[in-house]
Amino acid sequence: MSSSTINKSQAVRRGGRTLSTFTYYDGWLIGAVIFACCLGLIMLVSTSGPIAEKRGMSIFYYFWRQIIALGIGVSLALLVIKIESKVISKVGPLAILLVVVLLVLVLLPYFSHEVNGSKRWLYFSGWSFQPSELAKLAVVIYLADFLVRHSEQVRTQSVGLIKAIFVLAVLAALLVAEPDFGSSVVLFGAGMGMLFLAGVPLLKFFYAGAGILLVLGAVAIMEPYRVARLISFLNPWIDDTNTGWQLTNALIAFGRGDWFGVGLGNSVQALHFLPEAHTDFVFAVIGEELGTLGAIGIILLFVFIAWRIFRIGVAAEETGQLFGAYMAYGVSFLIGIQAMVHVGVNVGYLPTKGLPLPFISYASNNLIFMLLSVGLVLRVGHETAIHSGFSLSGGKSHD
């Protein structure tokens, strides 16, 4: 039975039993993402009120904007769930071209303006669009298609690897120019992870990875503010009123939270002490309000989400749906790496970068594209389950 003939209003007959088509979507993944989004809204109420009030806005200003972004993201996810993966695979080159144009536009004064020393947003009638979020998803879609069409070249010839890395390098260079070093790291990490799973020889992968790390390291020390961040990362207490201010206050938040936290809404650090408490440092506030145990729970939540998505990729690869498999792997890397970097920055294991925690931080563009990415993965899982007769939520269907 072709997946294009199935919709939610229909049912599937297997072994004499009627199964809802919802059986073919990963309920565990859906539930985990819904939980993360709901927790994000709760934390937003707790963290965004003080900064909204300071800026003369309603204390629920950021909350309602996040609700709007959530609605847009869910709508887009529900839309792409209905689109076959083979259609999605054709938009990769066009998406990359669009991203390049947008990333160039964001560097031009007429189309954007500087916020906190960075030009990352295009502005339209009071709303902003961050091309870097589209760039990360576009890379995943493009590379997934590229790895299917050039699988033999990627595995056996250096030119295949060079072509893929060239695309990553162009986008990363435009991101660094904003500057958005954090997004370039996530983009490269997801891309290299996909190349590794596509079968790039280990030696070539090692050389490419080492070269990329050297370039990223050189870029990291080219700007004085990045050097200052590296120094404050090594010992934030030597300049705790300036470059070390964010990290020291994040660590204080974890210290206040101890094991069980001070309770939702009782954060002191979110009261103007911790900059960007509702975005880049929301995990620190989670540690303060929900304690170490709550923070560990959030880490496990993201491990679970990344694992479920990766599992869909494995199932797709086993049934020969390579584009869907690589796309799922890429989304798993996108979410996992971004969550890992956010947590690492908040606990002082990585230098400070402006990356939100997926689904939880206030970051409208990030939330929309993360939900869109999950929708694409759910479509892959749907097609895989229909093809193989497996329910991703609960094992094999009744054949």
Mean pLDDT across 179-205: 90
Structural domain range at position 223: 25-392
**Higher-pLDDT residue of 361, 2:** 361
Half-sphere exposure of 154 (CA within 13 A, CB side): 21
pTM summary value: 0.88
Q: What are the pLDDT digits (tens) for 106-160?
A: 888 777 766 666 778 887 776 788 999 999 999 999 999 999 998 888 888 888 8
Report the 10 Å Cβ neighbour count for 61: 16
Confidence of residue 206 (pLDDT cuts 50, 70, 90): confident
Maximum Cα interatomic distance, the chain, rounded to a whole number of Å: 71
Report the 10 Å Cβ neighbour count for 73: 24
Mean pLDDT across 327-348: 96
Decide if 234 is inside a domain.
Answer: yes
Is 22's pLDDT higher than 70? Answer: no
**Domain count across the chain:** 1
Q: Provide the percentage of residues in the chain whose pLDDT is more than 70.
A: 88
Confidence of residue 349 (pLDDT cuts 50, 70, 90): confident
User: Which segment, 102-111, 202-211, 363-372, is predicted with the most confidence on average?
Assistant: 363-372
- Report the distance separating Cα 284 and Cα 1, nearest Å: 49
Decide if 14 is inside a domain.
Answer: no
Decide if 107 is inside a domain.
Answer: yes
Decide if 9 is inside a domain.
Answer: no
- Give residue 114's pLDDT: 67
Nearest to 255 by CA among 347, 159, 128, 392: 347
Decide if 311 is inside a domain.
Answer: yes
Mean pLDDT across 210-226: 77
Confidence of residue 6 (pLDDT cuts 50, 70, 90): very low
Is 240's pLDDT higher than 90? Answer: no
Looking up tokens 């609700």 gives 67
Confidence of residue 15 (pLDDT cuts 50, 70, 90): very low
Looking up tokens 């145990």 gives 293
Is 219's pLDDT higher than 70? Answer: yes
Decide if 165 is inside a domain.
Answer: yes
Q: Which residues contact 357 (CB under 8 A, 6 or more apart)?
A: 40, 282, 283, 298, 338, 339, 342, 343
Decide if 3 is inside a domain.
Answer: no
Is 100's pLDDT higher than 90? Answer: yes
Decide if 13 is inside a domain.
Answer: no
Is the distance from CB of 247 to CB of 352 less than 8 angstroms? yes
Between 110-119, 168-177, 364-373, the lowest mean confidence (pLDDT) is in: 110-119
Dihedrals φ, ψ of 122, to 5°?
A: -100, 135
Report the 10 Å Cβ neighbour count for 296: 13
